[in-house]
């Protein structure tokens, strides 16, 4: 059924509000998936399962069977947060909330699906819609890729977006190259020797050594920002057992975020060098454990230039970012398989992501649908 934009915008808002009421986390999304599939099953598309709770909707739009395919992706999972917005359609699942805009992302993709269904045969390309679980947890994109999500239809481009506070309503923000950071867990253990505080010289103070490390690592990290933009911060520091005992052990846990693997490696090597110097000074040893998370979200330069030119010609409000965001996104895994572009879409409300009172201006949702449909050319 063909709808005008006003009708389509209202439909997308309805989708989003229903999904906002039923947030689910990780890959346990039975209500979310049932709602999405109910609407997709009424359209001229083929639904196929991939990974835990992930699935695709394939639209063979073009008259030419050999026409190229492009893909669009949405995440589906919510966060373990108790909502405090006062909205009439607030979460009905205690302790769970769509506090990162994924309800809006799904609404946009359902709206796009409805629009495609009303324009079958008029489009030059076929379309693959990707519905993915576990973006907030284990990186559900990897599961879908491992199961061969792109092997049959082989899309030439993949696009995604994130509803973004801080930008005016409807503004599209993006940039070529790195747009969001890759992540790496850093766990650092300082091992000394306990002693009574009265005999502190007999001990090897792990708390003191770890404190030296923390300060020097931060200072060094600030010094290389100009040539290697990154984030090095620690959020947990555990040490000691009593107020009158020299701490024999200290544990620091934090994150390294950057836009290139080379930068991440540089930061890791720098931390190890600093620890080595402190070992010589204090006789406290340091052990390092690093665990890579999501890679950086890197927009393909050619695909980015195409999308930017197209969207500006269509009259969208465009903002070229000069700095990438330090948030992470597993859309990065798709970009390692297919040239892809990721966008931030301004929501007009400066409500922080992942907070109990996160809200959006729902007029942004139709802009999201219009953005995506403009890229089917």
Picking from 22, 83, 21, 23, the residue whose alpha carbon sits closest to that of residue 356 is 83
pLDDT in tens, 197-218: 999 999 999 999 999 999 999 9
Query: Of 255, 273, 292, which residue is a domain's last?
Result: 292
What average pLDDT does the chain have? 96
User: Could you tell me if 162 and 150 lie in one domain?
Assistant: yes
**Do 151 and 69 share a domain, yes or no?**
yes
What tokens appear for 299 in the block? 């927009």
Domain boundary among 241, 276, 292: 292
In contact, 80 and 136? CB cutoff 8 Å: no
Regarding whether 108 and 86 lie in a shared domain, the answer is: yes
270 with 329, same domain: the answer is no
Q: Of 101, 297, 337, 321, nearest to 181 (Cα)?
A: 297
Convert the pLDDT of each residue in 109-122 to its tens digit. Answer: 999 999 999 999 89
| Co-location of 280 and 365 in the same domain | no
Of the candidates 258, 275, 292, which is a domain's last residue? 292
**Number of structural domains the chain divides into:** 2
- Above 80 in pLDDT, residue 164? yes
Q: How far apart are the first and last CA of the chain?
A: 21
- Using pLDDT thresholds of 50, 70 and 90, give the confidence band for residue 52: confident
Taking residues 326-349, report their average pLDDT.
96
Strands of the chain (E only): list them.
Answer: 46-50, 54-59, 69-75, 126-132, 157-164, 172-174, 177-180, 182-191, 195-196, 230-239, 245-246, 249-258, 285-292, 297-299, 318-320, 340-346
Q: Give me the CATH number covering residue 286.
A: 3.30.70.360
pLDDT score at 350: 84
Q: Are 178 and 295 in contact (CB under 8 A)?
A: no
Mean pLDDT of the region 328-335? 97
Residue 306 phi, psi dihedral angles, 5° rounding: -60, -50
Say whether both 99 and 35 belong to one domain: yes
C-alpha span between 301 and 175 (Å, rounded): 9
> Is residue 191 located within the same domain as residue 324?
no
Q: What is the domain range of residue 355?
A: 5-180+296-374
Active site residues: 75, 136
Q: Are residues 108 and 126 in the same domain?
A: yes
State the CATH number of the domain containing residue 314: 3.40.630.10
Asked if pLDDT for residue 65 goes beyond 90, the answer is no
Per-residue pLDDT of 239-265, as tens digits, reads 999 999 999 999 999 999 999 889 999
Q: Evaluate whether 48 touches 59 at the Cβ level (below 8 Å).
A: no
pLDDT of 2 over the 90 cut: no
Question: What pLDDT score does 1 carry?
Answer: 62
56 and 75 within one domain: yes
Asked whether residue 275 falls in the same domain as residue 334, the answer is: no
Q: What are the pLDDT digits (tens) for 217-237?
A: 999 999 999 888 999 999 999
Q: Tell me, yes or no, whether 170 and 34 share the same domain.
A: yes
Based on the fold, state whether residues 301 and 265 are members of the same structural domain. no
Residue 328: its pLDDT value, please?
96
Q: Rounded to whole angstroms, what are the CA distances from 207 to 24, 243, 352?
A: 41, 12, 34
């Amino acid at each position: 059924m063909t709808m005008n934009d006003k009708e389509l915008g209202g439909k997308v808002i309805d989708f989003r509000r229903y999904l906002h009421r039923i947030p689910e986390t990780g890959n346990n999304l039975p209500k979310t998936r049932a709602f999405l599939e109910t609407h997709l099953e009424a359209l001229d598309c083929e639904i196929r399962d991939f990974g835990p709770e992930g699935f695709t909707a394939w639209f063979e739009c073009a008259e030419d069977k050999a026409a190229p395919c492009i893909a669009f992706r949405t995440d589906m999972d919510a966060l373990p947060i108790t909502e405090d917005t006062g909205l009439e359609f607030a979460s009905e699942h205690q302790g769970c909330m769509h506090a990162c805009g994924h309800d809006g992302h799904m609404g946009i993709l359902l709206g796009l699906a409805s629009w495609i269904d009303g324009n079958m045969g008029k489009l030059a390309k076929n379309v693959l819609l990707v519905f993915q679980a576990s973006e907030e947890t284990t990186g559900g994109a990897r599961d879908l890729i491992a199961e061969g999500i792109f092997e049959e239809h082989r899309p030439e481009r993949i696009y995604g977006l994130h509803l973004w506070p801080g930008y005016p309503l409807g503004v599209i923000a993006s940039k070529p190259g790195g747009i969001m950071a890759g992540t790496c867990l850093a766990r650092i253990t300082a091992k000394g020797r306990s002693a009574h505080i009265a005999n502190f010289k007999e001990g090897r103070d792990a708390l003191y050594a770890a404190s030296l490390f923390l300060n020097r690592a931060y200072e060094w990290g600030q010094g290389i920002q100009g040539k290697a933009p990154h984030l090095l911060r620690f959020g947990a520091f555990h040490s000691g057992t009593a107020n009158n005992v020299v701490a024999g052990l200290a544990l620091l846990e934090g994150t390294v975020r950057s836009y290139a693997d080379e930068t991440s490696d540089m930061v890791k090597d720098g931390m190890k060098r600093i620890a080595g110097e402190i070992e010589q000074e204090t006789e406290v040893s340091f052990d390092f454990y690093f665990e890579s998370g999501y890679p950086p979200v890197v927009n393909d330069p050619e695909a980015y230039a195409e999308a930017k030119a197209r969207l500006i010609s269509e009259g969208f409000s465009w903002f070229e970012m000069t700095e990438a965001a330090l948030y992470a996104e597993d859309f990065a895994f798709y970009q390692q398989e297919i040239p892809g572009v990721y966008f931030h879409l301004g929501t007009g409300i400066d409500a922080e992501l992942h907070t109990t009172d996160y809200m959006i201006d729902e007029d942004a949702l139709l802009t999201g649908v219009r953005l995506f449909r403009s890229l089917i050319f």
